[in-house]
């Protein structure tokens, strides 16, 4: 199972932007491109082509070469992939990225301030084919060069954990589509920067106050044993408090949207999370549901389904 801890260990700890570095720069970011041609779809909706395109040999994007060879740009956020990563999986990750940013699919990012934070921070998703390939990239890629080029907020997603046709898009048993999680971890960096009092990962935000209830206490380090009543009890000791908050936001939001409610999933994740359905979450964790549905935050209301067709009509 993919985790926030993994993403922070492999990328975010290396190229993370400081928590306050974007706080005063939200108004200046451009919207960015949807990347790819747009054609008319059913009922006049636009269908965006997320087919990966070659990385240029010159210019800002060339910093990702030669280890990556293709890219998709979604609202100014970059997805880059290695030659061994299947194009269909790269396109799927880009589609999920568009759905997390523009959840109502009206063609405009739902949260302008959060989107601006991602663009200003040079947010990017890297897609190697496997974890082993990611480990090799860490020995070869100059992350200092990426940071100097302005790419400061990074997240990884492996091709072999990306399932365009798999759960939760199909309600059946099978491996979880990690694109839902890892892309969410990338996008949530924008939410945290734009709304630190509500969604910040440090103690005292509405999010972490809810998390402290879910864990049965405010634990800056993983306790030897969580209280019996806790329903969120991640035990990875490499995951610090802020990492725990990122993971909690992922669990809470995807559960609220029905992303964990398919056969066999509850048993698979019980060691870490005990509220896999919207009903269980509402009953046990009303504080986080109140946060997730706060209309002032413009958080996603629908689980990404791997199909993005922007329309002038919001959902």
pLDDT attached to residue 44:
52
Is 63 found in the same domain as 147? yes
Assess whether pLDDT exceeds 70 at residue 37. no
pLDDT attached to residue 175:
78
Residues across the chain? 315
With respect to residue 182, please indicate whether it lies within any of the assigned structural domains: no
**Six-digit token string for 129:** 């084919």
pLDDT attached to residue 46:
65
Q: How far, in Å, CA of 226 to CA of 237, rounded?
A: 13
Is 215 found in the same domain as 67? no
pLDDT attached to residue 35:
55
Q: Residue 64 gets which letter from DSSP?
A: G
Is 140 found in the same domain as 28? yes
Is 151 found in the same domain as 89? yes
| Strand duo 70-74 + 77-81: pairing | antiparallel
Put simply, whether the predicted model's pTM sits higher than 0.85 gets the answer yes
Count the neighbouring beta carbons within 10 Å of the beta carbon of residue 268: 16
Give the model confidence (pLDDT) of 214-262 as tens digits.
999 999 888 889 999 999 998 888 899 999 999 999 999 999 999 999 8
Nearest 5°: the CA angle 209, 97, 40 is 140
| Domain that residue 291 falls in | 195-304
Give the model confidence (pLDDT) of 97-126 as tens digits.
999 999 999 999 999 999 999 999 999 999
More confident residue, 69 or 24: 69
How many whole angstroms from its chain centre is CA 107? 19
Task: Tell me the HSE value of 147 on the side-chain side, using a 13 A CA sphere.
Answer: 11
Contact 90, 79 (CB under 8 A): yes
Is 171 found in the same domain as 29? yes
Instruction: Answer left, alpha or beta for residue 204, where phi above 0 means left and psi between -120 and 50 means alpha.
Output: left
Instruction: Answer left, alpha or beta for residue 133, where phi above 0 means left and psi between -120 and 50 means alpha.
Output: alpha
Is 147 found in the same domain as 233? no
With respect to residue 188, please indicate whether it lies within any of the assigned structural domains: no
Phi and psi for 124 in degrees, rounded to 5? -150, 150
Assess whether pLDDT exceeds 60 at residue 7. no
194: CB partners within 8 A, 6+ apart: 26, 111, 113, 114, 116, 117
Assess whether pLDDT exceeds 60 at residue 6. no
258: CB partners within 8 A, 6+ apart: 168, 277, 278, 303
Mean pLDDT in residue range 154-165: 95
Residue given tokens 């365009």 in the structure block: 164
Assess whether pLDDT exceeds 60 at residue 31. no
Question: Which ranges of the chain would DSSP assign to H, the alpha helix?
Answer: 4-7, 13-15, 87-101, 112-120, 131-140, 143-148, 179-194, 196-199, 206-215, 241-256, 265-269, 278-284, 286-292
Listing DSSP states for 164-228 in one string gives TTSTTSS-SSS---THHHHHHHHHHHHHHHH-HHHH-SSTTSHHHHHHHHHHTS--SS--SS--T
Mean pLDDT in residue range 262-281: 94
Count of domains observed in the chain: 2
Is 30 found in the same domain as 130? yes
9-13, 42-46, 199-203: the lowest-pLDDT one: 9-13
Is 39 found in the same domain as 151? yes
Mean pLDDT in residue range 45-54: 85
């Amino acid at each position: 199972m993919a985790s926030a801890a993994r993403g922070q260990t492999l990328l975010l700890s290396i190229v993370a932007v400081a928590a306050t570095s974007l706080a005063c720069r939200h108004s200046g970011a451009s919207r960015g491109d949807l990347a790819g041609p747009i054609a008319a779809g059913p009922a006049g909706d636009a269908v965006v082509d997320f087919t990966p395109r070659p990385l240029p040999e010159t210019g800002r994007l060339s910093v990702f070469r030669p280890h990556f060879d293709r890219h998709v740009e979604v609202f100014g956020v970059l997805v880059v992939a290695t030659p061994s990563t299947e194009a269909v999986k790269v396109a799927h990750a880009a589609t999920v990225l568009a759905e997390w940013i523009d959840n109502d699919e009206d063609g405009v990012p739902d949260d302008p301030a959060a989107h601006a934070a991602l663009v200003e921070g040079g947010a990017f998703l890297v897609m190697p084919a496997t974890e082993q390939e990611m480990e090799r990239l860490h020995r070869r890629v100059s992350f200092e060069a990426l940071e100097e080029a302005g790419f400061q907020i990074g997240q990884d997603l492996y091709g072999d954990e990306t399932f365009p046709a798999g759960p939760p898009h199909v309600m059946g048993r099978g491996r979880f589509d990690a694109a839902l999680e890892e892309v969410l971890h990338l996008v949530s960096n924008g939410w945290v920067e734009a709304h630190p009092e509500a969604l910040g990962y440090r103690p005292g935000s509405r999010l972490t106050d809810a998390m402290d209830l879910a864990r049965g206490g405010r634990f800056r380090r993983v306790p030897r044993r969580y209280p019996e009543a806790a329903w969120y009890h991640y035990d990875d000791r490499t995951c610090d408090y802020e990492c725990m908050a990122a993971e909690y936001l992922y669990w809470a939001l995807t559960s609220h949207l029905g992303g964990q409610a398919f056969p066999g999933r509850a048993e698979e994740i019980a060691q870490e999370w005990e509220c896999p359905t919207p009903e269980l979450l509402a009953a046990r964790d009303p504080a986080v549901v109140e946060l997730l549905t706060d209309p002032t935050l413009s958080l996603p209301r629908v689980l990404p389904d791997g199909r993005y067709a922007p329309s002038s009509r919001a959902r």
